[in-house]
């Protein structure tokens, strides 16, 4: 299970950059799934941690717009 989570987060590292504009294009169900994975992950590497920070930042940005998706 941990391997699967790590693999999915690593894939996210390669598919997501730190740019908010790319994060804004993520579908709400995908964002919710990634947010959940980040919240439950243990022992994240530096790139995985950065991806999770970007995901949380996007969730907060959407909440400010009144879209509670995470």
Three-state SS for 50-64 is HHHHHHHHHHHHHHH
pLDDT value, residue 18: 44
pLDDT value, residue 37: 95
One digit per residue, the tens of pLDDT, for the chain of length 70 reads 566 666 666 666 555 444 456 777 888 999 999 999 999 999 999 999 999 999 999 999 999 999 988 8
- This prediction's pTM: 0.66
**No. of helices (H) and no. of strands (E), the chain:** 4, 0
pLDDT value, residue 70: 87
pLDDT value, residue 38: 95
């Amino acid at each position: 299970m941990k391997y699967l989570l790590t693999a999915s987060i690593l894939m996210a590292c390669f598919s997501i950059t730190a740019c908010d504009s790319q994060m804004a294009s993520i579908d709400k169900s995908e964002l919710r799934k990634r947010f959940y994975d980040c919240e439950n992950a243990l022992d994240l590497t530096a790139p995985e941690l950065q991806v999770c920070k970007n995901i949380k930042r996007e969730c907060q940005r959407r909440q400010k717009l009144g879209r509670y998706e995470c």
